[in-house]
Amino acid sequence: MTLTWAQLRDLKCGELEGAADGWGKASNRADAGRDRIETQLLSGLRDTQRGEAANAAVGRLRQMSRNLGYLYTECGLLRTTLNSLAHELRTQQRALREALEDAENLKFTVHGDGSVTYPAAGEGLIDGRPLPGGTAGTGAVAPGLHAPSGLVAPNPNVAKAQDIADRVAKAVRTAAEIDWRYARILRRLKAEEGLKVPDSTWKDAAGDAAAVREAARGYLKDAIPYDASPAERKSWWSALTDEQREEYIAVYPDRIGNLDGIPALVRDAANRDNIQLLMGKLEGRDDAKSQTQLAALREIDRQLRAGSHPPMYLLGIGEERNGRAIVSFGNPDTAKNVAAYVPGLGTSLDQEFAKGDLKRARDTAIGANEMNPGSSTASIVWLGYDAPQASVSDLAGSLDVAGESTASAGAPAYNQFMAGISATHQGGDQHVTAIGHSYGSLTVGLAAQEEGGIPGADEIVLVGSPGTGARSADELGVGREHVFVGAAENDPVTKLPNSQEASGIGTGVVGGASTGFVLGAGAGPMGAAIGGAVGGVAGGFAGYSAQDAQTDKSEAWFGTDPAHREFGANRFAVSDGPRTFERGHDVAEAHSNYFDPSKDQMSADNIARIVSGRSSEIQQERPR
């Protein structure tokens, strides 16, 4: 059926919006049901019941929660689709009505096919009589628009009528295209039959969301203040109606969930939906990166569903580059103490991050709450940048990739996040600690050296640090008395050679290996190989020693060694940790123990004291 201008004029967009409201109510009911299952029924069962029956009930409730989550998402998409359809059609209605009003004011007649009849007007150059009227249509030049000779002027109504006819035709044609486009989307928004929502259905839901996002670009997306400050984003969100917020979360959970300046509860709600869409999206891929990230997302999702104390909030999640994830244990908007920890070398969105780095943040939250029970704490792990992807056990390879570039890119992103934490905090002064581990300490150090420093930061904690890019703790913006450093005796990262020493090692290895190879060649191929190896080791040591004698002992790979007295920070006590290559321990294990109370209680307790606002109670250690 071909759309006419009369049908477009008489279209009741309010009925579309009424239908959207109905789907919105269904979405909200599903969300309320899911929330009741997660916060009341499941927690009650886990706390009070044991055995096979209880486990079976938990499994069924989780499936129901998953189903309701899917229902919430799809109904929300339907609501936004209908509202966006009404929004776009109303725009074309407005354009049509303006054209019809112009025709009425000019005493023109608009016919059912969109042609426009205009009256006689003007006067002939010869006889002075009014020029005859006519009808302007679409797709052809209106009669009388071009004079047949230089002796006859065109009727001045011709151009006006043609303009009105063109505007009517354009409004109808655009409305028909809108109707066709949205009809395709609405046909997609239907679930499979059955009582379960398998992973394949979430994959389809990810495609549904992408289609609705594209369609609703002008209706919703273009209004998101990407270029605004976190404080301005907070104000934007606060000014939206409840319905508008629900639509943004339903259609753009990835954008809202990762937008600094949006309240933590909102980001968490958006990202809990976004993680389902991400898992569905990655399900259809078989490359190694996608499978690695999928495993991490599943583990994070498992922890979210299992619940934790302190409660877990998903403040960011994404698949870009090495992956993104921001997880808080405790609500940073209401907590008195907030710590945001930046992980380092080799960190990416994988199972090791989902288990190990999340545990570090949780251990810190638990420790801080125990140290200061009267002051609530939120402990965050922030994977919002691309850490170098070499391993601590391959320090030679690590030195090749660990320049300052990724830390320099991560520093402003970290500061933007911290500004968001400050913007959304509710009431009272907040005590904020920025924590950097390994290469993450360089990211934190560079963030602290940006203009204005780290927003809201009161303390800075550096553990396992190869340097911050600063020469002194005074350069980190919080005062040297508020900069704290933990460096285990057997942590090789805190004893990396500086750039001159590294250069000496490289030169010495090459020269020594060449010399040893030549000297050993007289004993045959085996002698050459052995001579080259021995010469390389000896040359490397000699090169290091030569450069070491000429450089300042306080210099680290990135600036001054934070644990050295020349840096001027407070060094707190940590355990020595296992020696490198010690039997029964991982290589460079001492580099990873700082947050773990089961492996380094002293360090974990000192970090907890600083985070909880009791830094005066730390156990101190003499600087190097």
Residue 569 has what DSSP assignment?
P
Tokens of 607: 């970090």
Chain mean position to CA 607: 27
Interval 125-135: pLDDT, tens: 556 677 788 88
Chain mean position to CA 17: 31
| Amino acid symbol at 321 | R
| pTM to 2 decimal places | 0.72
Phi, psi of 459 (to 5 degrees): -130, 155
**HSE toward the beta carbon, residue 574, CA cutoff 13 A:** 34
pLDDT at 298: 92
Interval 439-498: pLDDT, tens: 999 999 999 999 999 999 999 999 998 888 899 999 999 999 999 999 999 988 887 765
Interval 516-556: pLDDT, tens: 444 545 555 555 455 444 444 444 344 444 444 455 555 65
CA 343 – CA 591 distance, rounded (Å): 12
Cβ atoms 620, 602 nearer than 8 A:
no
584/7: higher pLDDT: 7
Tokens of 606: 């000192």
Tokens of 409: 């890119």
pLDDT at 149: 45
| Amino acid symbol at 395 | L
pLDDT at 173: 86
How many C-beta atoms surround the C-beta of residue 399 within 10 A? 19
Asked if residue 80 has pLDDT above 80, the reply is: no
pLDDT at 74: 76
Interval 257-278: pLDDT, tens: 999 999 999 999 899 888 988 8
Tokens of 246: 């629900």
- For 32-97, the three-class secondary structure string (H helix, E strand, C coil) is HHHHHHHHHHHHHHHHHCCCHHHHHHHHHHHHHHHHHHHHHHHHHHHHHHHHHHHHHHHHHHHHHH
pLDDT at 547: 47
CA 346 – CA 353 distance, rounded (Å): 10
Tokens of 219: 């209706």
Tokens of 173: 């044609």
Interval 358-413: pLDDT, tens: 999 999 999 999 999 989 999 999 999 998 876 555 554 444 445 788 899 999 99
- Name the E strands within 215-335: 312-318, 324-329
- List, as one string, the DSSP characters of 510-559: HHHHHHHHHHHGGG-HHHHHHHHHHHHHHHHHHHHHHHHTTS-TTEETBE
Asked if residue 588 has pLDDT above 70, the reply is: yes
Cβ atoms 401, 211 nearer than 8 A:
no
